[in-house]
Amino acid sequence: MLRKGITESFGSAIHALSTAHLTDGVIKRSKRMMLDTLGVGLLGTRTSVFNKVLQYSQSFTSEDRSTVWGKSNLVLPPCLAAFVNGVAVHSMDFDDTWHPATHPSGAVLPALLALAESLPQQPSGLDLLLAFNVGIEVQGRLLRFSREAYNIPERFHPPSVVGVMGSAAASAKLLGLSPTQCLHALAIAASSAGAPLANAATQTKPLHIGNATRRGLEAAQLAQMGLEGNPTILDMDSGLGVYYKDYHPSAMEDSTSSEFKWILESQDVAFKRIPAHLAMHWVVDAAMAARAKLENRVGKFDLDQIKKVTLRVPPSKYIDCPFPSTEHQARHSFQFNACSALLDDNVTVSSYGDDDRNRPALRELLAKVKVETPEGNEPSFDKMYCEAEVETEQGQRFWARCNTFYGHWRKPLSQEDLVQKFRAHASSVLSTEGVDGLIDIVANIEKEKNSSLLGLYLRMTSSQIEQLYRPRKNANCIF
């Protein structure tokens, strides 16, 4: 028997995986990912970048119409609904993060929900859950083709590379494509992969997720229509290998093999507590711990008495931003997040708004920050640490270090805190019935006969809420 090529093995596995392969652990973890993604996506519908792409997308029409999250009377063609909902998910950099580094859920869930609503026969919740996990699994497999992918990225934003492939795989699964069609869906999607990291910390970064989920869905639909791509796209250095300096692809095990195991089973995701780049969680926790030590010794935190703040962080150019001028730069700034934590003893959604970001006190404290990158502090979400040291005018030093923040896969959020996060975000857009309905549906998704109920609850806004958060001309971000 001839050994399958790598791309062929992926096409076969995507086609062959069934609901019987889902384990209790994978179901539990993926439901948490789905709930968190819906929550941050709903919150993201209040941002300027979401409203810009929504306005653009409303110029297109189609017979098939899918839900725009958090909008009771607004639908779009499925690919564009996936696009705008994907942008919403990443608009505040609040979505989950995996290892090796990527944002796995936002590239997959918006495509699946948009596609599910457009199908003649609505898929069950279990079918949706399977397709979601197929999309997550493919991303995890592709990330393991390169050691470079294990570190904080330097050249390409990972969701734009593996996310579009995960979306294509998930959409192909939900469409019930053949092994060959699944293979071509991946090949087609690969030609939409890749976004430069230079657009991180800008309004364009959320489009990386929106484009990934949209283009993956379109790739699967085109494959269903018979469009073909290179059937060895994953095997080749000139295929997906162009995105990595070291590329060593391997075949995906047959789902009937005893060797097959879901990556999500052994590698959980991180859920964010603040709307910022994941590395900011380490520096925020370290800064708050250093502040607590200072207050225990000398009383309240007094900016006038602070001489210097030293941050010891891993090397990474795109999250080293001394004086951020926009909310998106602030979400990618060790300095900003540490100083916000020191001043306020907390970091919240409003911390990145214009009023908080432009405070004279914050600018004064930022000028006192020094960043060091100690040897051995690796730029990896699995190995990095952050230290914060505050020195007073009197020469006192208060130091703290964070090795693992609460929400990291080594210290996961409790289910209670995850639901609380979702409720806080979703309730800013949806009615109480919509919020409670989504929590219940996701908690029991594997038992739901009709996945379209998710779209129903995602549209349950109140007219008062919609009026309050209607996009304003020239608005930056509505909090």
The string of pLDDT tens digits covering residues 326-384 is: 999 999 999 999 999 999 999 999 999 999 999 999 999 999 999 999 999 999 999 99
Residues 125 and 151 in one domain: yes
pLDDT at 465 over 90: no
Range(s) of the domain holding residue 116:
6-271
| 296 and 263 fall within a common domain | no
Tokens of 472: 């304003």
The pTM score is: 0.93
Domain boundary among 402, 421, 443: 402
CB neighbours (10 Å) of residue 286?
26
Neighbouring residues of 301: CB distance < 8 A, sequence distance ≥ 6 = 291, 294, 295, 342, 343, 345
Residues with Cβ within 8 Å of 247's Cβ and at least 6 positions away in sequence, in order, are 145, 146, 237, 240, 241
Average pLDDT over residues 49-58: 95
Q: Are residues 66 and 137 in the same domain?
A: yes
Specify the number of domains making up the chain: 2
Express as a percent the part of the chain with pLDDT over 90: 89
CA 367 vs CA 208, 280, 295, 352: distances in Å = 32, 19, 22, 18
Domain assignment present for residue 431? The answer is no
Q: What is the pLDDT of residue 3?
A: 53
Give the model's pLDDT for residue 471: 39
Burial of 434: CB neighbours in 10 Å, binned 0-12, 13-18, 19+? buried
- Nearest CA to 108 out of 122, 90, 126, 91 is that of 90
Nearby residues of 367 by Cβ (< 8 Å), 6 or more positions away: none
pLDDT tens digits for range 220-257? 999 999 999 999 999 999 999 999 999 999 999 887 77
The tokens describing 190, both together, are 């690969």
- Note the pLDDT of residue 472: 33
In a domain, 356, yes or no: yes
| Strands 75-76 and 306-312, sheet pairing | unpaired
Is residue 341, in this structure, part of any structural domain at all? yes
Average pLDDT, the chain: 93
Q: How far apart are CA 15 and CA 218, in angstroms?
A: 18
Query: Which has more pLDDT, 382 or 151?
Result: 382
Alpha-carbon Rg for the chain, nearest whole angstrom, is 22
Three-state secondary structure call for residue 194: coil
124 and 249 co-located in one domain: yes
Last residue of a domain, one of 402, 427, 462: 402
pLDDT for the residue numbered 149: 86
**Average pLDDT of the segment spanning 409-418:** 98
Amino acid at 111: A
Q: Domain of 367: which CATH number?
A: 3.30.1330.120
Q: List the CATH number of the domain containing 31.
A: 1.10.4100.10
**Where a domain ends, among 402, 433, 462?**
402
- Judgement on whether residues 112 and 37 belong to the same structural domain of the protein: yes
Whether 464 shows a pLDDT value over 80: the answer reads no
Query: Does residue 467 register a pLDDT over 90?
Result: no
Same domain, 188 and 300: no
Domain contains 478: no
246 and 388 inside one domain: no
> In this predicted structure, what is the pLDDT of residue 469?
39
366-372-374 Cα angle (round to 5) = 155
Q: Are residues 187 and 290 in the same domain?
A: no
